[in-house]
Structure 1
Amino acid sequence: MEGAIQTLVTTFLSSARGKENLDGKSFKKMVQKQLGSLMEDTNSASAIKEMQQGLDENNDGKVSFQEYLTLIGYLANSLSQSKTGSSTQEAS
Protein backbone atom coordinates (compact mmCIF):
# COMPACT_ATOMS: atom_id res chain seq x y z
CA MET A 1 0.00 0.00 0.00
CA GLU A 2 2.82 2.41 0.85
CA GLY A 3 4.44 1.73 -2.50
CA ALA A 4 1.20 2.46 -4.33
CA ILE A 5 0.82 5.82 -2.55
CA GLN A 6 4.44 6.71 -3.28
CA THR A 7 3.90 5.83 -6.93
CA LEU A 8 0.79 8.06 -7.14
CA VAL A 9 2.65 11.02 -5.64
CA THR A 10 5.80 10.46 -7.69
CA THR A 11 3.81 10.10 -10.91
CA PHE A 12 2.02 13.39 -10.30
CA LEU A 13 5.19 15.28 -9.34
CA SER A 14 7.16 13.89 -12.25
CA SER A 15 4.33 14.67 -14.69
CA ALA A 16 4.00 18.21 -13.30
CA ARG A 17 7.75 18.73 -13.83
CA GLY A 18 8.31 20.63 -10.60
CA LYS A 19 5.13 22.67 -10.79
CA GLU A 20 2.16 22.48 -8.43
CA ASN A 21 -0.33 21.57 -11.16
CA LEU A 22 -0.57 19.64 -14.40
CA ASP A 23 -1.16 21.88 -17.39
CA GLY A 24 -3.11 20.52 -20.35
CA LYS A 25 -0.09 19.10 -22.16
CA SER A 26 1.32 17.45 -19.01
CA PHE A 27 -2.08 16.01 -18.08
CA LYS A 28 -2.56 14.55 -21.56
CA LYS A 29 0.90 12.99 -21.56
CA MET A 30 0.39 11.53 -18.06
CA VAL A 31 -3.01 10.04 -18.96
CA GLN A 32 -1.72 8.50 -22.18
CA LYS A 33 1.48 7.14 -20.64
CA GLN A 34 0.24 6.02 -17.23
CA LEU A 35 -3.48 5.26 -17.58
CA GLY A 36 -3.89 3.91 -21.10
CA SER A 37 -4.67 0.36 -19.99
CA LEU A 38 -7.26 1.47 -17.40
CA MET A 39 -9.13 4.02 -19.47
CA GLU A 40 -10.79 4.25 -22.85
CA ASP A 41 -10.20 7.10 -25.28
CA THR A 42 -6.68 7.91 -24.07
CA ASN A 43 -5.68 8.47 -27.69
CA SER A 44 -8.41 11.08 -28.13
CA ALA A 45 -7.19 14.60 -27.41
CA SER A 46 -10.77 15.84 -27.10
CA ALA A 47 -11.72 13.11 -24.61
CA ILE A 48 -8.67 13.90 -22.48
CA LYS A 49 -9.44 17.63 -22.62
CA GLU A 50 -13.03 16.93 -21.55
CA MET A 51 -11.74 14.78 -18.68
CA GLN A 52 -9.37 17.55 -17.60
CA GLN A 53 -12.18 20.11 -17.64
CA GLY A 54 -14.36 17.76 -15.57
CA LEU A 55 -11.63 17.42 -12.94
CA ASP A 56 -10.77 21.13 -12.88
CA GLU A 57 -13.00 22.18 -9.98
CA ASN A 58 -11.57 25.70 -9.69
CA ASN A 59 -11.58 26.28 -13.47
CA ASP A 60 -7.95 27.40 -13.63
CA GLY A 61 -7.20 25.25 -16.68
CA LYS A 62 -4.89 22.98 -14.68
CA VAL A 63 -5.22 19.79 -12.64
CA SER A 64 -4.07 20.13 -9.03
CA PHE A 65 -2.94 17.21 -6.90
CA GLN A 66 -6.34 17.11 -5.20
CA GLU A 67 -8.12 17.08 -8.57
CA TYR A 68 -5.75 14.31 -9.73
CA LEU A 69 -6.74 12.29 -6.66
CA THR A 70 -10.37 12.60 -7.75
CA LEU A 71 -9.43 10.86 -11.00
CA ILE A 72 -7.46 8.18 -9.13
CA GLY A 73 -10.42 7.58 -6.80
CA TYR A 74 -12.79 7.24 -9.73
CA LEU A 75 -10.47 4.77 -11.47
CA ALA A 76 -9.92 2.75 -8.29
CA ASN A 77 -13.67 2.58 -7.69
CA SER A 78 -14.34 1.50 -11.28
CA LEU A 79 -11.65 -1.17 -11.09
CA SER A 80 -13.03 -2.45 -7.79
CA GLN A 81 -16.52 -2.68 -9.23
CA SER A 82 -15.31 -4.53 -12.31
CA LYS A 83 -13.36 -7.02 -10.19
CA THR A 84 -16.26 -7.67 -7.79
CA GLY A 85 -18.96 -7.66 -10.46
CA SER A 86 -20.75 -4.80 -8.72
CA SER A 87 -22.42 -2.34 -11.07
CA THR A 88 -23.98 0.00 -8.52
CA GLN A 89 -22.59 1.96 -5.64
CA GLU A 90 -24.02 1.51 -2.20
CA ALA A 91 -25.64 4.57 -0.65
CA SER A 92 -23.89 5.88 2.43
Structure 2
Amino acid sequence: MASQLEGAMETLINVFHHYSGKEGDKYKLSKKELKELLQSELGCFLEAQKDAGAVEKIMQDLDENGDGEVDFQEFVVLVATLTVACNTFFWENA
Protein backbone atom coordinates (compact mmCIF):
# COMPACT_ATOMS: atom_id res chain seq x y z
CA MET A 1 0.00 0.00 0.00
CA ALA A 2 1.38 3.39 -0.98
CA SER A 3 1.84 6.13 1.58
CA GLN A 4 -0.04 9.43 1.28
CA LEU A 5 3.07 11.12 -0.10
CA GLU A 6 3.66 8.37 -2.64
CA GLY A 7 0.02 8.66 -3.69
CA ALA A 8 0.36 12.42 -4.03
CA MET A 9 3.44 12.00 -6.20
CA GLU A 10 1.65 9.48 -8.40
CA THR A 11 -1.31 11.85 -8.74
CA LEU A 12 0.99 14.71 -9.73
CA ILE A 13 2.62 12.57 -12.41
CA ASN A 14 -0.73 11.31 -13.70
CA VAL A 15 -2.24 14.81 -13.86
CA PHE A 16 0.73 16.12 -15.85
CA HIS A 17 0.61 13.26 -18.36
CA HIS A 18 -3.17 13.46 -18.69
CA TYR A 19 -2.73 16.90 -20.28
CA SER A 20 0.70 16.59 -21.94
CA GLY A 21 1.20 15.31 -25.45
CA LYS A 22 -2.18 16.13 -26.88
CA GLU A 23 -0.22 18.30 -29.30
CA GLY A 24 3.45 17.80 -30.02
CA ASP A 25 5.84 16.32 -27.46
CA LYS A 26 4.08 13.87 -25.14
CA TYR A 27 6.47 14.77 -22.31
CA LYS A 28 5.73 18.50 -22.36
CA LEU A 29 2.78 20.85 -22.02
CA SER A 30 2.11 23.30 -24.82
CA LYS A 31 0.61 26.65 -23.88
CA LYS A 32 -2.83 25.32 -24.80
CA GLU A 33 -2.33 22.16 -22.73
CA LEU A 34 -1.03 24.18 -19.77
CA LYS A 35 -4.07 26.45 -19.97
CA GLU A 36 -6.41 23.45 -20.03
CA LEU A 37 -4.61 21.90 -17.03
CA LEU A 38 -4.72 25.14 -15.05
CA GLN A 39 -8.40 25.73 -15.82
CA SER A 40 -9.40 22.17 -14.98
CA GLU A 41 -7.13 21.47 -12.03
CA LEU A 42 -6.51 24.95 -10.56
CA GLY A 43 -9.63 26.82 -11.66
CA CYS A 44 -10.06 28.59 -8.33
CA PHE A 45 -6.48 29.85 -8.53
CA LEU A 46 -7.02 31.30 -12.01
CA GLU A 47 -10.33 32.90 -11.02
CA ALA A 48 -8.61 34.66 -8.14
CA GLN A 49 -5.97 36.09 -10.48
CA LYS A 50 -8.39 38.39 -12.37
CA ASP A 51 -5.66 38.73 -15.00
CA ALA A 52 -6.47 37.77 -18.58
CA GLY A 53 -2.75 37.20 -19.23
CA ALA A 54 -2.19 34.96 -16.19
CA VAL A 55 -1.59 31.79 -18.23
CA GLU A 56 0.87 33.62 -20.48
CA LYS A 57 2.77 34.96 -17.47
CA ILE A 58 2.81 31.53 -15.82
CA MET A 59 4.09 29.98 -19.05
CA GLN A 60 6.89 32.53 -19.34
CA ASP A 61 7.87 32.05 -15.69
CA LEU A 62 7.87 28.26 -15.92
CA ASP A 63 9.53 27.84 -19.31
CA GLU A 64 13.10 28.10 -18.04
CA ASN A 65 14.71 26.69 -21.18
CA GLY A 66 12.68 28.95 -23.51
CA ASP A 67 11.33 26.18 -25.75
CA GLY A 68 7.72 27.40 -25.54
CA GLU A 69 6.63 24.32 -23.62
CA VAL A 70 6.58 23.23 -19.98
CA ASP A 71 8.28 19.95 -19.12
CA PHE A 72 7.58 17.94 -15.98
CA GLN A 73 10.40 19.52 -14.00
CA GLU A 74 9.16 23.01 -14.85
CA PHE A 75 5.59 21.95 -13.94
CA VAL A 76 6.73 20.66 -10.54
CA VAL A 77 8.19 24.11 -9.81
CA LEU A 78 4.68 25.59 -10.26
CA VAL A 79 3.08 23.00 -8.00
CA ALA A 80 5.79 23.43 -5.35
CA THR A 81 5.48 27.22 -5.43
CA LEU A 82 1.70 27.09 -5.09
CA THR A 83 1.97 24.51 -2.33
CA VAL A 84 4.35 26.72 -0.35
CA ALA A 85 2.02 29.69 -0.80
CA CYS A 86 -0.98 27.65 0.33
CA ASN A 87 0.93 26.28 3.31
CA THR A 88 1.84 29.78 4.41
CA PHE A 89 -1.72 31.03 3.94
CA PHE A 90 -3.40 28.15 5.75
CA TRP A 91 -0.95 27.95 8.65
CA GLU A 92 -0.99 31.72 9.21
CA ASN A 93 -4.81 31.78 9.14
CA ALA A 94 -5.35 28.67 11.25
Which TM-score tier does this pair reach, normalised by the shorter chain? 0.7 to 0.9
TM-score normalised by structure 1 residue count: 0.83
1:3 is displaced (CA, Å) by 1.5
C-alpha root-mean-square deviation of aligned residues, in Å?
1.9
User: In the alignment, which residue of structure 2 is the partner of 1:72?
Assistant: 79
Task: Note the C-alpha offset of 1:42.
Answer: 7.5
User: Percent identical across equivalent pairs?
Assistant: 32
Instruction: Classify the secondary structure of the residue corresponding to 1:51.
Output: helix
1:6 aligns with 2:14: no
Corresponding residue number in structure 2 for 1:41? 49
Structure 1 position 37, deviation (Å): 2.4
Among candidates 34, 49, 72, match of residue 27 of structure 1: 34
How many residue pairs were aligned?
85
Partner of 1:62: 69
| Alpha-carbon contact 1:15-1:30 (below 8 Å) kept | yes
- Change beyond 3 A, Cα 1:4–1:60: same
Greater helix proportion: 2
- Structure 1 unmatched runs, 5+: 87-92
CA distance in 1, matches of 2:14, 2:60: 23
SS in 2 for 1:57: coil
Change over 3 Å in CA distance of 1:69–1:42 after alignment to 2:
farther
- Distance in 2 separating the partners of 1:71 and 1:42: 18
C-alpha change, 1:21 and 1:74, in structure 2 (3 Å) is: same
TM normalised by structure 2 equals 0.81
